[in-house]
A and B are shown apart, each in its own frame.
Chain A
Amino acid sequence: GGGRRQTVAEWLDSIKMGRYTELFLEGGYSSLDTVAHMTSEDLRRVGVNLAGHQKKIFSSIQEMRVHLSSRAVDI
């Protein structure tokens, strides 16, 4: 671990999807812990309608899950 916790805004900015920050927060996804459990259906529900943006955000969420499940493992 180590390092401070990243916010939803920072995460979205880091994948150049910062334009969705407001929608995520309005949709109740205000922490990366909740974001990590989102399905592609959830993404559509908060208003991510473009196929490419869904793909990009969802693949980042999947990476996030991998990190969460291997948190204690140093590679």
Chain B
Amino acid sequence: MTSNGPVIVYEWLKTLQLAQYVESFVDNGYDDLEVCKQIGDPDLDAIGVFIPHHRQRIHDA
């Protein structure tokens, strides 16, 4: 099974200037945009995004 989901997540994070989190997103199962749409605070805690303005950037996206 091949999926280009992780690439799309990487592109998305890059546009938010948060590409440094891509590995953690994918490791936690946030490997396509469909599942990324469901991200809330508990998800960001699990992924390890703790910097408030980074969290805000993802919430706004």
Contact = CB atoms under 8 A, between A and B. Distances in A.
A49 B31 contact: no
A44 interface: no
Interface residues of B, number: 13
Interface string B26-61: 011111000100110011001100000000000000
Nearest to A63: B1
Category for how many chain A residues contact B: 10 to 19
Interface stretch (A3-11, A28-36, A53-61, A67-75): A53-61
A55 B32 CA distance: 10
A16 interface: yes
Interface of B: 25, 27-31, 35, 38-39, 42-43, 46-47
Interface of A: 16, 49-57, 59
